[in-house]
Amino acid sequence: MKLQKFYKLTQPDGFDFHTGRTINYRDAVGKTVRAPNFNASGELCSSAFLHASRKPDQCFVGASIPCSAFVVRGAPILEDNQKVGFESLYIEKEVDPASIFKWNYNAAANPINPFSIRPPKITQQHILLLKNWATVWDTVWDTVWDTVWDTVGATVWDTVGDTVGDTVGATVWATVGDTVGATVGDTVWDTVWDTVGAYVGSLFVPVVKQWKIRYPFRDAVDLWYDGLVPSFDGKTWRLHGNQNANILYEEKI
């Protein structure tokens, strides 16, 4: 029987995500590994099986970023719409995760903190980007969520969003909050978090057909890459930059 091709994600060190110590897939390249607690009558999402997926984007059930990736082969026993269960897997080769995902894995694994970038002098171009962003910011999460979910699925979106949110999003959000103060209200928090959402969405531009022509939240992303983060308190828009999120520009728009 010819073994079928699947994809497997592991922790960066090659060990499985489930325990972090049971199987090192990197050490097993060219070999066959077996489920230590194999039980043909067991549940799919349990230690009764080894797990892999038919498509790379289906691999994030129980996995996270950063990760290592492997091409494996096996004979399926149980299967749902994302995960396949096996008694054993032949580990064919390790591959670069960025080579199997069509969205921007490298940027997701190494998100940019805009406050680590030395911002430029504010120009009319930055002000124009801010004004454009002011017209669309409150639609970003619904638009990005719906579009990405339809393209790659909720699991990928959740994984990438959590990675960026945990590594840089929360820091950016808190740093701006420390600068403007907690008394300004929820609008500031919302606008900063929406900028994070615009940045997350930009990582999926390569896989969203309509976004390849024009990503609707590109203005916020361009500011982000220049080390600038917008905020709005209900009356005044600001651009923040430097490690303390200093206010570099403000205007009532």
Beginning with the edge strand found earlier in the chain, give each strand of the sheet holding 78-79 in spatial order. Answer: 50-52, 84-86, 78-79
Q: Contact at 8 Å (CB) between 70 and 93?
A: yes
**56: three-class secondary structure by DSSP:** helix
What's this model's pTM, rounded to 2 decimal places?
Answer: 0.90
Give the residue extent of every domain in the chain: 4-100, 105-251
Position 248 pLDDT exceeds 90: yes
> Is the pLDDT confidence value at 150 over 80?
yes
Amino acid at 113: N
> What is the pLDDT, as a whole number, of residue 185?
60
Quick one: pLDDT band at residue 181, thresholds 50, 70, 90? low
pLDDT in the model for residue 184: 54
The stretch 201-228 carries a mean pLDDT of 96
Do residues 7 and 100 lie in contact, with contact meaning Cβ atoms separated by under 8 Å? yes
pLDDT in tens, 21-65: 999 999 999 999 999 999 999 999 889 999 999 999 999 999 999
Please give the average per-residue pLDDT across 191-195, as a whole number.
92
Question: Do 17 and 9 contact (CB within 8 A), yes or no?
Answer: yes
Q: What is the mean pLDDT of the chain?
A: 93
Cα end-to-end span (Å), the chain = 67
183 pLDDT more than 60: no
Listed in sequence order, the residues at least 6 apart from 124 whose beta carbon sits closer than 8 Å to its beta carbon are none
Q: What would the pLDDT profile of 107-137 be if each residue is shown by its tens digit? A: 999 999 999 999 999 999 999 999 999 999 9
Task: Look at residues 23, 80, 28, 81 and name the one whose alpha carbon lies nearest to residue 47.
Answer: 23
